[in-house]
Amino acid sequence: MDIEPQAIHGTSQATSRPEPRRPRVWSYLLVGLIGAIIGGLLTSAIVPSLIIGQMEGLQLSLPSSTGFWGGESSSSGGIRTTDYTPSEDPWQVVVDAAEKVSPAVVGIVNTKAMYDIFGRQYVRDTSGSGIIITSDGYIVTNNHVISGDSRQLTVFLSDGRTMEAEIVGADPATDLAVIKIDATGLPTAVFGDSDTLKPGQLAIAIGNPLGMEFNRSVTVGVISGLDRVLRIGDGYMRLIQTDAVINPGNSGGPLVNGSAQVIGINSAKLNVEAVEGMGFAIPSNQVKRIVTEIMETGRVRRAFAGLSLMDRTEVKIYKPTVKIDRGIYVYDVVSGGPAAKAGIRAGDIIIEFAGRTINDVGTFVALISEMSPGDSVNIKVLRGGQQLEFTITLVEAPSDTR
């Protein structure tokens, strides 16, 4: 008789079997580590030899003799350098210009009498620069370099000699002066045409900043601007603006172009807080005219038009009923003077002088200062809404207007 198995406590009872064993995690890690070690050993032993074998068949385009600095390789492993020819130096034009002009640049020491607040006299040296313009010793410089109660002018030449100089003549209105030393065979500078200058052209300043200790210092910049009208002394001048560094002692030294031509005489620096790189030079064409007159006559004849003028800002204050939006106002005309003879009247508004637009009195005065007695010049004016043109023949200024 078959007996079915009985359920005991709700479970079925059956024959028990052993469960299979699972591999532990650490065994996998061990196998992986051993494989990595073996692979690394094989790579370090086999791969380098394969790479070297491949490189032997390549021709690399690496320089064999030039190092990282662009020079010859140093066998000692130091910094590598190279020689270069002057044509490879983009600044060689500055070097050439400085070498040509510097021998004609001189230092000038003005020993002059000064007085303290108690009236006691003492002597003080001030220094500047100058340029030799003739081989027999004529030198151009700034008037403010040689002005004052001068007791002695000493010129320092590029060859090391020192000589006393005498004043030939000076023109305070243009801040130019000519002095002379007793010498021959001196190196001279060549002057260029300042009317052809353009902003952005090379400008090289040479002079003696802060005295003879820094003689013939060379600074480089560009022509920053032209026709900058500034008040110099009692007059106005059109000047060349440059960012070449000009320091005290550079006054009277040359401003030179890339062709080693003097294009201006360094004269002033805008010394205002937070302003840099604004130096000014007297244009060479004006220098040539003034210096020639001084050398020939010992003085400069000043041109005279016979006009009294006002800027627009002054017109608004003193002539509020006059409407003026351009030009300058003629408030008086000298009787019998050049302007009166030409037909210009008080109340006219000058808008153009010698082909240049006029909007301030300073520009008009600066242009007049560049002309000579006897010159004829065209002037355009506005009168009653009409534009008129006149030709004035300038005369020599009376001594009390110079």
Task: Look at strands 328-333 and 349-353 and give their pairing.
Answer: antiparallel
* Cα 84 versus chain centre, distance: 28
Range list of β-strands (E), 19-175? 105-115, 121-132, 138-142, 150-156, 162-171
Q: What is the spatial distance between Cα 265 and Cα 277, in angstroms, rounded to a whole number?
A: 16
Question: What HEC string does 39-66 produce?
Answer: HHHHHHHHHHHHHHHHHCCCCCCCCCCE
Among 194, 217, 251, 284, which one carries the catalytic annotation?
Answer: 251
Among 175, 217, 224, 369, which one carries the catalytic annotation?
Answer: 175
Q: Answer yes or no: are the C-beta atoms of 177 and 148 closer than 8 Å.
A: no
Of the candidates 224, 229, 226, the one whose C-alpha atom is nearest the C-alpha of residue 275 is 224
To the query of whether residue 175 is one of the catalytic residues in this protein, the response is yes
Of the candidates 254, 287, 247, 215, the one whose C-alpha atom is nearest the C-alpha of residue 97 is 254
H or E segment and range at residue 316: helix 312-318
Measured CA to CA in angstroms, residue 353 lies from 3, 116, 266, 376, 389 at distances of 142, 46, 27, 11, 10
Among 102, 127, 129, 144, which one carries the catalytic annotation?
Answer: 144
Query: Which residues are catalytically annotated?
Result: 144, 175, 251
